[in-house]
Amino acid sequence: MPETPATIIAVIPCLNEERHIARLVRALVADRGDLPMTIVIADGGSSDATPDIARKLADTLPDVRYLHNPKRLQSAAVNLAAQSYGDEARYLIRIDAHADYPPDYCRALVGEAEALGADSVVVTMKTAGTGLFQRAAAAAQNSLLGNGGAAHRNAAFQGKWVEHGHHALMRLDAFRAVGGYDENFPTNEDAELDIRLRRAGYRIWLTAQTAVTYFPREKPAALLRQYFRFGQGRARTIAKHRVLPRLRQVLPLAVAPAALMLPLALLHWIFAVPFLTWALLCLGYGALLGLRARDAAAMLSGFAAMLMHLGWSFGFGAGLLGRMAR
């Protein structure tokens, strides 16, 4: 396809997304209209048919590019796309292969950036699912128990200047000025970058004009691993920038010590109290969510939240200990 100058690059970091990538790219192309946007599929070495599908899309659709990401990480994928295709672009839009985007998503982001002079436009994120466990995880992540009241997970906080949010659009000159994503961060690279953006004087706007629907992990073990990595990433960010964690991040830290004390209940029952208190709180909260929503899957959200807390707490501890050891 002929090359055309772009003022926007939309980057899709992906790995083994053969079920979703074609639908996502075609939807972005159809919704693009006259918006001067190049779509970059940055594949991190998929073992399924994703690379073949991505190459065919790049060969047949206008201003769609395939890019091999040898470092595999999402942070590296976005950096590589910015380096390869960003010279003529003004804005960078990050697209998640595990999400659904409303019509005019990219156009709304650009409109907000232009109207407000924002250096970064972030969005709120709601989760949804299909299977029983995925729906339970989605209900947990949409609740205070699962997201701790984070601004970008609560629609009531839309339309304001914030410190962090779900990454959507950034001005490329701001992104480059602070060095892009830190590729030492497999997770939490977005929050880490937002710290550097704010310290450099750039402003982040949480938009009310559009939002993202995210699909959580479909199996308990995958959700646990994901939140373990999230905890590791948050520990790295805190250690790198010497920032204090927020209260919503501090509270789950007690879960790992409570779990580690549980075997001591064989010696005395008192050692089981912290773990059982937390478990009953989560399961009770989940049951209440399910009753309010009249949804059996939401009643299991307490169990999903327990996995999230447990993974995050152990991951944070492992990340902090690893950082201290180094």
pLDDT over 70 percentage in the chain: 95
Residue 260 lies inside a defined structural domain of this protein:
yes
200 and 242 within one domain: no
Residue 257 lies inside a defined structural domain of this protein:
yes
Q: What is the pLDDT of residues 49-81, one digit of tens each?
A: 999 999 999 999 999 999 999 999 999 999 999
248 and 142 within one domain: no
Segments forming the whole domain that contains residue 193: 8-217
Phi, then psi, of 91 in degrees rounded to 5: -125, 150
Last residue of a domain, one of 168, 197, 217: 217
CATH (domain of 147): 3.90.550.10
272 and 132 within one domain: no
What does the pLDDT read at residue 157?
Answer: 59
Contact between 158 and 169 (Cβ < 8 Å):
no
| Number of domains forming the structure of the chain | 2
Evaluate if pTM is beyond 0.85: yes
250 and 136 within one domain: no
109 and 197 within one domain: yes
Last residue of a domain, one of 183, 198, 217: 217
Q: What is the pLDDT of residues 233-267, one digit of tens each?
A: 999 999 999 888 777 777 888 999 999 999 999 99
Query: Is a pLDDT exceeding 80 seen at residue 295?
Result: yes
Residue 3 lies inside a defined structural domain of this protein:
no
277 and 167 within one domain: no
209 and 243 within one domain: no
